[in-house]
Amino acid sequence: MLWKLFDSNCRSVHHGSAMLLITDTLAITCDDERRILPHAAVLIDGTRIAAVGPTRELEPAHPEAQRTDGRGLAVLPGLVNAESMQSYGG
């Protein structure tokens, strides 16, 4: 499993290795400008983020991608490896 998507209750809702396009979401980036992009799309190709930009541009450019609606959600970098943190619990 190369990517995994969770709902607001941390339940897994999608996973796979195909191309995934998350549309109409709030994207928080780790680029030099630390941009916050409303109405954005995030294209995931296997294990990498292939593109971030306006949904209106990325949707028609990637018709082959599996889509998931990101309205009301935010996409942000996963900066913590939660699996390794279990050993620090009490």
pLDDT digits (tens, 9 = 90+) for 39-57: 999 998 877 889 999 999 9
Domain residues of the chain, as ranges? 3-77
The set of residues, in sequence order, having a beta carbon less than 8 Å from that of 6 and lying 6+ positions away, is: 12, 13
Residue 1 confidence (pLDDT):
35
Q: What is the CA radius of gyration of the chain?
A: 14
CATH code, 3-77: 2.30.40.10
- Give the C-alpha separation, 40 to 36, whole Å: 9
Taking each continuous run of H as one helix and of E as one strand, the counts in the chain are 2, 7
Determine if the pTM surpasses 0.75. Answer: no
Q: Is the pLDDT of residue 84 over 80?
A: no
Q: Is the pLDDT of residue 67 over 80?
A: yes
Q: Write down the H helix ranges in 1-90.
A: 55-61, 82-85
